[in-house]
Amino acid sequence: METDPRRLGPGEGHSPAPATEDDEKYGAPVDLTRVVRCLLAARWWLLGAFIVGAAIGLPTAKFAIKRSYTATAMLRFGGLPTIEGLGAPSDATQTLGGLLQGIFVEGSLREIGSRTGLEVPTYVLGTWIQAEADPAQVVRISATATEADEAARFANTVVQVFLERQTEAQRERIREAIGSIEERLTAAQAAVTAARTSYDTFRNRHGIADLTTEQETAIEQAAELRATRDRTASEIDALEARVEQLRRDLRSTPRTALASASVGASAEETERGRLQAELASARSSLSDDHPRVQALRQQIAALDERIRSGQAEKTRSATATASTQYMSLQAALSQSQADLEAARQRLEGLTRLAREAQQRVEQFSSIEGDASQLLAEVRVNEQLMQELQGRKARLEDALRNPDHGFQPMSEATPPELPEASKKKYIVAAAFPLGFLFIVLGVVLARELRGLKIRTAKEAAFWGRGPVVGTSTWPRVPDAIDDLVADLDDFVPTAAGKMLVVGLGEGAPELAMRFASRLSNDWVDTTVVGGSPFDEPDLRAPSLPPDAGGYGHHHAIALAGRTHHVDQLVAPELQVEAWEGADSGPALRRAARLADRVCVIVPANVTSALELKDVKTRLGRTRGVGYVLIDVADEYAEQDDRVGPVEAFWACVRE
């Protein structure tokens, strides 16, 4: 038995497409077409900004940015010399990289600036100097200036100041060693005097005028051997301590070391340089009393104060290479171990000879033996004092001409060509691009101010649901005809209740007008082949405000319709227009009882954040669709549907 399609109730005779979750993102947060139209509309402003920036940037790059020349002087580092009585330095600050860092200390930079006559802050002066060393210990010191001759003089001055400071550092080390030896000499002199006094007193008391030549020779030989033995024992103690110290230094010394170092400008210094260039450009066309000139001066003064206070940190760069200190320590350790072994063997021989000499002295009478012992003390202390005096003399000779270990290889000469630099191009491009981006930012900020929805793609993205229709209505009253006609595509398969909710000012009225027009159009123009007794009475009074037990809304029932689709069907569609508050429990209850909710979104008025909150206010995530109205003419020809429109019309309340 066939069923009369005109007698089917809602949901019978056809299977609606399964509803999907609408809480996905469709469209785009900002329609690219909108951005393109905005930029095309402001193209003359953008072009003008680019031209103005170029008019400022090109002269600035040509006249404010000067050419730079770099001159280089070369040195060779042979290592700090080892002076008898002055141990070689072994701490990390005395490596080549550490020595080169001395160029960039405040005192050195101030002295360089004073000699060259460059009246710039030391942190700026440091950025014009570079120092580096290769694995062969060849040091290259480069300096940059605006003139070739000035660059050569600058580099040679840097080398001169550096070598002078190294010489002074070595001289200070020698002075400290001399001071230490003088203290030991004073003690040795006192010991010699005391030993001589004891010896003379003993001879006078016992009436010993002189010892025989044989006795004196034997005593002196024994004393000399004993003194040599004692010195050798002291040397062994010193060598053992040195070997242990070298081993500790070797364990704590890295295998690589700093080979080159340079100091770069801090962020504040870089910004200050940029502001100075901008100030120079502004003063070329503006008076000193102009607000822009005054503002730039205040900014520069603030940066100067920050730099002077030490809050601006300089950037430093360094290059590592094989540590010469590590290799030097290894060589020194090997040499010291060899010296220690030789000293131990020598001590063994000296001990045997001193014992034999002492046995010969002990053959003298007891008084003569005591005298020989006292004389030996005199000889030992005299020899120690002579040795210390010799060390002091050698240190004094080294003090008159201290060796810092650096040998000049070549002086800096004026370079023939300036340095290849892109500063002019950067400055020339920075001004027009900067002006262009400023105007571009202003144009986009004005276009996107308030994040107002203008296109269907934006409504779908922010509303997280499909846009089922787009129209210029109500600004263009007749446009509602095309809007309703577009929605007719899905009417034959739509069933259940659809709640129409408006956003913004005048929302209830728009919702009522839209719902009423849907009903009239779908009954009067879309329905074909229906029986007279099946057509609804559009003049029937609307449902009371509490119809259905929720909210304030009007319901318009559309029933008994047939369509020429694949088969004749007669779905029942009830359109309800919400007239209550735009949020609250009543709206959520009405939205949940409906099969789908159609939200009327006025373009150019509704914000993205407001649209993003719609599903929360409705209390549902499925079956929410949007109709974008009052669309501007330039966007009316774009996509009028975005997202899963079919899923919206097929959605039914569970």
Contact 390, 181 (CB under 8 A): no
Strands 129-133 and 138-145: antiparallel
Cβ within 8 Å of residue 299, ≥6 positions away: 275
The predicted pLDDT at position 550 comes to 34
**Closest C-alpha among 438, 490, 395, 454 to residue 608:** 454
> Could you identify the residue written with the tokens 């040599």?
228
Contact 219, 374 (CB under 8 A): no
Contact 613, 11 (CB under 8 A): no
The predicted pLDDT at position 440 comes to 92
Q: What does pTM read for this prediction?
A: 0.49
477 & 617 share domain: yes
256, β-bridge pairs: 322
Minimum mean pLDDT among 58-67, 107-116, 127-136, 276-285: which range?
Answer: 276-285
Provide the mean pLDDT of the chain.
77
Maximum Cα–Cα distance across the chain: 166
**166 in a domain, yes or no?**
yes
Confidence of residue 161 (pLDDT cuts 50, 70, 90): very high
Confidence of residue 141 (pLDDT cuts 50, 70, 90): very high
Alpha-carbon Rg of the chain, whole angstroms?
Answer: 50
**533 in a domain, yes or no?**
yes
**373 in a domain, yes or no?**
yes
For the residues 408-433, what does the mean pLDDT come to?
Answer: 85
176 & 129 share domain: yes
**Which tens digits make up the pLDDT trace of 110-120?**
999 999 888 88
377 & 293 share domain: no
Confidence of residue 551 (pLDDT cuts 50, 70, 90): very low
What is the full DSSP assignment across 89-122? Answer: P-SGGGSHHHHHGGGGSHHHHHHHHHHHT--S-H
The predicted pLDDT at position 442 comes to 93
Contact 231, 386 (CB under 8 A): no
When mean pLDDT is compared over 18-27, 553-562, 577-586, 598-607, the highest value belongs to 598-607
**427 in a domain, yes or no?**
no
**Higher confidence at residue 531 or residue 196?**
196
**448 in a domain, yes or no?**
no
> Could you identify the residue written with the tokens 């060509």?
417
128 & 84 share domain: yes
**Which tens digits make up the pLDDT trace of 319-332?**
666 666 677 778 77
The predicted pLDDT at position 339 comes to 84
Single residue among 66, 85, 113 that ends a domain in this structure: 66
Q: How many other C-beta atoms lie within 10 A of the C-beta of residue 251?
A: 8
**162 in a domain, yes or no?**
yes
CA 283/CA 523 separation, integer angstroms: 76
> E strands of 323-400, at which residues?
none
Confidence of residue 544 (pLDDT cuts 50, 70, 90): very low
> Could you identify the residue written with the tokens 């469209």?
27
Total tally of structural domains belonging to the chain: 4
The predicted pLDDT at position 259 comes to 54
Q: Does residue 369 carry a pLDDT above 90? A: no
Cα separation values, 553 from 165, 550, 580, 613, Å: 93, 8, 7, 22
258 & 159 share domain: yes
Q: Which amino acid is at 449?
A: R
**600 in a domain, yes or no?**
yes
237 & 287 share domain: no
**429 in a domain, yes or no?**
no
pLDDT more than 70, % of the chain:
77
CA 529/CA 91 separation, integer angstroms: 105
**Which tens digits make up the pLDDT trace of 175-194?**
888 888 888 888 888 888 88
91 & 57 share domain: no
258 & 402 share domain: yes
The predicted pLDDT at position 6 comes to 34
Domain residues for 198? 69-265+314-410
548 & 633 share domain: yes
Write out the two tokens for 643. Answer: 């997202």
**Higher confidence at residue 368 or residue 104?**
104
143 & 46 share domain: no
258 & 336 share domain: yes
Write out the two tokens for 195. Answer: 């030993």
The predicted pLDDT at position 461 comes to 94
Cis amide linkage into residue 18, ω under 30° from 0 = no
CA 590/CA 583 separation, integer angstroms: 11
210 & 358 share domain: yes
Contact 435, 49 (CB under 8 A): yes
For the residues 198-215, what does the mean pLDDT come to?
Answer: 69
Single residue among 40, 66, 92 that ends a domain in this structure: 66
Write out the two tokens for 645. Answer: 């429109």
Single residue among 410, 444, 470 that ends a domain in this structure: 410
Strands 573-578 and 256-264: unpaired
Q: Does residue 8 carry a pLDDT above 50? A: no
The predicted pLDDT at position 250 comes to 77
Q: Does residue 443 carry a pLDDT above 70? A: yes
CA torsion angle 502 508 509 513 (round to 10): 60
